[in-house]
């Protein structure tokens, strides 16, 4: 059944993986279904909690923002048209799960490279750098993140025990310039996110003291 011609285009939330040096897009992971809810929490970074009164209003950095959501992956629609989705028929949703899980692992190439360097007697081996993850939830919210918690509940399987339905719980920590620095590509993306937030706040008319029941301060 075709959609109504004037129906709005449904945007998808997702994660974009970037090369942190070149900015090249390595992979785009789109959520199959947008979650009904998305929760965000902020841990304020006060300069001196409970200390000097003269520092009570000072902030040492941006708050630590954490984004949490639950997403679903379901192969039912694709399995209705097996000729068009042979990968789903053969592997279920293994591929979609693997794409998300790959954000948590260093690449096999990087692991092998570090192993070979250790075998050659290299004394100092740099920790492996993961791609830069950018969480995108509309054009108003595109922010660098690091996965802090990830869990998968597989709920249905095909006869070959390939998962065909799963629920994913994802917790993302927003990375600020305090984490990445101003010169890092992710730091620039965070600054764009912050400036956009400030611009959006400026679109809201300020209330009056009278509306709060006050005549003056």
> Considering the entire predicted model, what is its pTM?
0.84
pLDDT tens digits, 17-39: 999 888 899 999 999 999 999 99
pLDDT confidence bin for 67, thresholds 50/70/90 = very high
Location of structure tokens 């004394």: 123
pLDDT confidence bin for 2, thresholds 50/70/90 = very low
Residue ranges of domains in the chain:
28-120+145-183
State residue 216's pLDDT score.
86
Location of structure tokens 């941006």: 62
The CA distance from 103 to 110, in Å, is 14
Is residue 47 over pLDDT 80?
A: no
pLDDT tens digits, 155-204: 999 999 999 999 999 999 999 999 999 999 999 999 999 999 999 999 99
Q: What is the DSSP string of the chain?
A: -PPPTTSPPPP--EEEEE-TTT--EEEEEE-SS--S-EEEEEE--BSSTTS-GGGTT-BSS--EEEEEEEEEEE-HHHHTSGGG-HHHHHHTTHHHHHHHHGGGS--HHHHHHHHHHHHTT-S--PPPPPPEEEEESSTT-EEEEEEEEEEEEEEEE-TT--EEEEEEEEEEEEP-HHHH-SSSHHHHHHHHHHHHHHHHHTTSPPP-TGGGT-S--
Residues 124-148, mean pLDDT to the nearest whole number: 89
The CA distance from 159 to 164, in Å, is 10
């Amino acid at each position: 059944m075709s959609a109504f011609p004037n129906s709005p285009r449904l945007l998808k939330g997702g994660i974009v993986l970037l090369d942190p040096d070149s900015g090249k897009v390595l992979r785009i992971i789109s959520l199959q279904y947008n979650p009904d809810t998305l929760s965000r929490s902020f841990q304020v970074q006060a300069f001196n909690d409970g200390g000097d009164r003269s520092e009570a209003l000072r902030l040492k950095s941006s708050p630590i923002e954490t984004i949490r959501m639950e997403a679903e992956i379901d192969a039912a629609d694709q399995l209705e048209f097996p000729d068009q989705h042979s990968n789903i028929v053969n592997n279920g949703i293994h591929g979609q799960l693997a794409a998300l899980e790959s954000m948590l692992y260093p690449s096999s190439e990087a692991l092998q490279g570090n192993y070979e360097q250790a075998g050659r007697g290299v004394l100092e081996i740099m920790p492996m750098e993961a791609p830069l993850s950018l969480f995108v939830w509309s054009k108003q919210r595109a922010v660098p993140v690091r996965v802090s918690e990830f869990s998968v509940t597989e709920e249905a399987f095909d006869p070959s025990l390939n998962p065909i339905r799963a629920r994913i719980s994802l917790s993302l920590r927003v990375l600020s310039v305090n984490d990445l620095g101003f010169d890092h590509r992710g730091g620039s993306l965070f600054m764009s996110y912050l400036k956009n937030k400030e611009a959006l706040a400026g679109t809201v008319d300020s209330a009056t003291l009278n509306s709060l029941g006050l005549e003056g301060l």
